[in-house]
Amino acid sequence: MLSLFRPTSIFLLLSAVLVSAQLSFGGLVGRIDGVTYISPEQHYRVRVPVLPDLGGTISDTATVVVFRDDYGMHVSIGAFPQDATQRWELSTRGLKDYLPLFFANYVLPDFRQMFPGTSVETAIFQPQRLGGALLCYTLMPGGTMFPSSVANFGGNESVVVAKRGNLVFVQHSVVYVVSVELSERSIEGKSYNKTPEEEDVILRERLREIVDEIEFAQPRE
């Protein structure tokens, strides 16, 4: 049985052994400061949730960073500055309508291009969270980021339907999309027995752990 590190475990481990250390990840558009990743445009900084010694890797572009390790961690953070049109859309529609529209128009098409058949299982608007946030669960056929583990543990050739939790919100005119894969669903194979409701609870907690570690930059004058 594969032992999976939870985000909480990683953060506790980082706190215990890397207080004064410098993590080393090369080839980044953003940068690492101690145990913190700083986005290329400095919209935010976040404590790195993976360790190089545990197979942790970081890859990024100007707008998206992906953290991954060999123990079931796959987290992405997208930060998309709003242009004048997007700010107008938000001001006229309000967050409750704007966030689902943003996810449907800009995020879901990318998911479906990579993994055809991707669908939204459930979506919930949370008005009290981060000034208003959309919590969205997606089902992604063939969309696991741990295909080698599926081959080792799944034992069949059917397409594994991965599940991700996605949190969409706006801070200082930047739209954030934080996504976490429920890796156990893909890795554990026939022994996996979580209900959709239990999956949602797990993903919601993991998203909370990640978002709690993000420090958002104040708007520039």
What's residue 128's pLDDT?
94
What's residue 189's pLDDT?
80
pTM score, whole prediction: 0.85
Structure tokens at 30: 């953003």
CB 203 within 8 A of CB 137: yes
Give me the average pLDDT of each 10-residue run along the chain (221 residues).
37 42 72 93 94 88 93 94 97 97 96 96 96 97 78 58 97 97 88 93 96 90 58
Rounded distance between C-alpha atoms, residue 30 and residue 71, angstroms: 24
What's residue 19's pLDDT?
40
Amino acid identity of 5? F
What's residue 71's pLDDT?
84
What's residue 17's pLDDT?
41
Domain ranges for the chain, please list them. 7-216
The CA-atom distances, in angstroms, between 93 and each of 13, 90, 100, 101, 204 are: 43, 5, 11, 10, 26
What's residue 16's pLDDT?
42
What's residue 25's pLDDT?
62
Longest dimension (CA), the chain: 56
What's residue 145's pLDDT?
86
What's residue 22's pLDDT?
54
State whether the Cα torsion 39-144-180-109 is positive or negative. positive
Three-point CA angle 95, 101, 105, nearest 5°:
145
What's residue 4's pLDDT?
34
Structure tokens at 116: 């055809």
Q: Which helix (H) or strand (E) holds 170?
A: strand 161-171
- Torsions phi, psi of 160, nearest 5? -80, 130
Q: Which CATH architecture has domain 7-216?
A: 3-Layer(aba) Sandwich (3.40)
What's residue 133's pLDDT?
98
